[in-house]
Amino acid sequence: MAERSPASLEEQARKLLEDLVAIDTTNLEDPGNGRMEKRNYLRAAQYISARGKDLGLGARVWDAREELKDGKDRFAEPRPNVVIDLDRGRSQTLLILAHFDVVPVPEEQLERWKSPPHSLRLREDGRYYGRGAADDIGSGVVPGLLALDALRRRSDLPVNVRFIACCDEETGGTGGIEALREHDDALPRDSPERILTAEMALIPDGSPFVGAGSSGVSFVDVSLAQGTRVTEYLRVADALVDFHSITSTWTSALPSPPEPEGKPPNAYILGRATPTLEHLDVREGHGKGARLVRIHSNSLAANQIPASVSLTFAGSGPELQALRTFLSETVRVPYRLTFTETPATLTVQVVGVSGHGGYPHRARNPVPESTRLLLDGLQQGILAEGEVAAGTMTLDLRSPPEMEAEQALAIFRNYFLRLENEVPGATAVVPPGRERSGYFVSPQNPRILLLQKTYEEVAGRPIGIYGEYGGTDASALRKIRTPKGDPLPVVVLGAMDSPAHIHDAEESIDPRYLNEVTRLLVRWVETFG
């Protein structure tokens, strides 16, 4: 069969990207508020599997709900993962791992999208826009399929290739890579039924550099008992904000990647603690001043920094006017306020800049500023005290690549113990499957250095070796061994440049980077040894 022209290859990439973005594989887990949604997982998995079969390759859907012994008890709906094999009968296997689930599109983002988020659009700037266009459909799934298509024609490949497209990555991988690892752990080390056996793994779920480590991530849900004073709720919220000063002392040996604006905020990857989801309902208050009725962060996912936080107040006309004046004079730049009024209520949006929880330096989180404004208002008598009817918060806790999640959480629990003693009814839990350690491989590993050289040849520019701020499925592979018993080398790379706006409105991908990742996967397989 003749090789396709570049134009036809681009058309195929666009078709795959367009179809998968349209399927809408939204992955929403918000245990604190009882919300769970795994949209169109099975449909996406069947689509990807069908593309593998179209290429004449072994393709199957591995559903954690069906395959794990207690899967039906743990998962209310399918948790499909796609395994596609390019088997050349070699003694070594290269694993390529991507994911097809995407983060939710909260309502506040909709007005910031210039086109429907689940409908792919090519804009004048040459980028494709849509939810998942970069993370990880365009960065991982589509390049993986295109690379398999290019490689299947070669009978002389030095290595077998196993491509896996997982679900659940955005919420910790419980039904995805973690379930696959659980399956393997129950089998003998030399069992041919093991799925994650390989000499090396590439995860195209990152940025255009060699990622030798990725951060760990844990989601901590904090709740307050009914009847707790609003002041105490805000003290706890403020303490969650302050925990970042502790995590920022956790330093990785891996350098931070360069930023588009210049130098990164820190020379090395650090820990981060970011309040994301926040919800408070308030009972009737007491005392003079406007009364806080509700707090709501305008986000749907624990790993999304909200663009704004809505604060609703009730009171008399003079009380609300005094509050509006106070807030307007107290808010700090670069945050801004918008107001919606009725005769008896005032809703204030504290507006920041949304973003990925793993990259708080690229966002401007309005949760800390909202907490500060409310605490100041209560202390100065502008707001009346109230009692919590329902109050929950979520902390996106990122640990450096080398740190165990258990260690990070132990430090947090010791920190939170003081709050539990001072604020009765304050509790902090990490729901099952919502904690992951980071992943680290030495930048001096021979395969890492060789991959760096190959990447530079393909890209035609210098490629650095850095740590990855975001968490990835590499975490699940951290204790896996190669058939020879060595630690499995894992590299994170991808097409997610800064303008990709992953997890935010206007997510997009530059097709040049998509093509670059595809070519790198092909070259690496062809020269693997």
pLDDT digits (tens, 9 = 90+) for 215-245: 999 999 999 999 999 999 999 999 999 999 9
**Poorest-confidence range of 139-143, 370-374, 435-439?**
435-439
Q: What is the pLDDT of residues 19-48, one digit of tens each?
A: 999 999 999 988 767 788 999 999 999 999
Question: Is it the case that residue 4 has pLDDT exceeding 60?
Answer: no
State the alpha helices, DSSP H only, in 404-494. Answer: 405-422, 446-459
Kindly state whether residues 188 and 225 are assigned to the same domain: no
pLDDT at 1: 32
Q: How many Å apart are CA 377 and CA 290, to the nearest integer?
A: 9
Cβ distance 321 to 127 under 8 Å?
no
Q: In the predicted model, what is the mean pLDDT of residues 472-479?
A: 91
Beta bridge partners of 49: none
pLDDT at 142: 98
3-state DSSP call for residue 147? helix
Query: Residue 470 is part of which domain span?
Result: 6-213+438-527
**Which tokens is 229 given?**
């004073």
pLDDT at 35: 84
Kindly state whether residues 195 and 228 are assigned to the same domain: no
Cβ-based neighbours of 228, under 8 Å, separated by 6 or more: 387, 388, 391, 423, 424, 425, 426
Cβ distance 133 to 507 under 8 Å?
yes
pLDDT bin (cut points 50, 70, 90) of residue 6 is very low
pLDDT at 263: 75
Compare 167 and 472 and report the one with higher pLDDT: 167
pLDDT at 96: 98
pLDDT bin (cut points 50, 70, 90) of residue 509 is very high
Task: Examine residue 136 and say whether the peptide bond preceding it is cis (omega within 30 degrees of 0).
Answer: yes
Closest CA to 168 of 76, 217, 102: 102
pLDDT bin (cut points 50, 70, 90) of residue 261 is low
Q: What is the pLDDT of residues 111-138, one digit of tens each?
A: 899 999 999 999 999 999 999 999 999 9
CA distances from 357 to 238, 266, 276, 318, 442 (A): 18, 17, 8, 39, 25
Kindly state whether residues 227 and 354 are assigned to the same domain: yes
pLDDT bin (cut points 50, 70, 90) of residue 9 is confident
pLDDT at 3: 46
pLDDT at 267: 94
Compare 7 and 65 and report the one with higher pLDDT: 65
Q: Determine, yes or no, domain membership for 334.
A: yes
Write the DSSP symbol of residue 174: T
CATH number at residue 310: 3.30.70.360
Is the pTM higher than 0.85? The answer reads yes
Kindly state whether residues 290 and 333 are assigned to the same domain: yes
Kindly state whether residues 235 and 173 are assigned to the same domain: no
Q: What is the pLDDT of residues 435-458, one digit of tens each?
A: 999 999 999 999 999 999 999 999
Kindly state whether residues 390 and 306 are assigned to the same domain: yes
Kindly state whether residues 369 and 283 are assigned to the same domain: yes
Write the DSSP symbol of residue 55: T
Question: Is it the case that residue 502 has pLDDT exceeding 90?
Answer: yes
- Choosing from 436, 455, 480, the residue where a domain stops is 436
Cβ-based neighbours of 365, under 8 Å, separated by 6 or more: 274, 275, 276, 305, 306, 352
Q: Determine, yes or no, domain membership for 247.
A: yes
- Choosing from 377, 401, 436, the residue where a domain stops is 436
Cβ distance 357 to 304 under 8 Å?
yes
Q: How many structural domains compose the chain? A: 2
- Choosing from 436, 455, 482, the residue where a domain stops is 436
Kindly state whether residues 206 and 87 are assigned to the same domain: yes
Q: In the predicted model, what is the mean pLDDT of residues 303-327?
A: 96
Mean pLDDT of the chain: 94
Kindly state whether residues 291 and 375 are assigned to the same domain: yes
> In which residue are the tokens 């303490």 written?
239
Kindly state whether residues 196 and 104 are assigned to the same domain: yes
What element of type H or E holds 333?
none
Q: In the predicted model, what is the mean pLDDT of residues 494-518?
A: 95
Closest CA to 454 of 391, 516, 370: 516
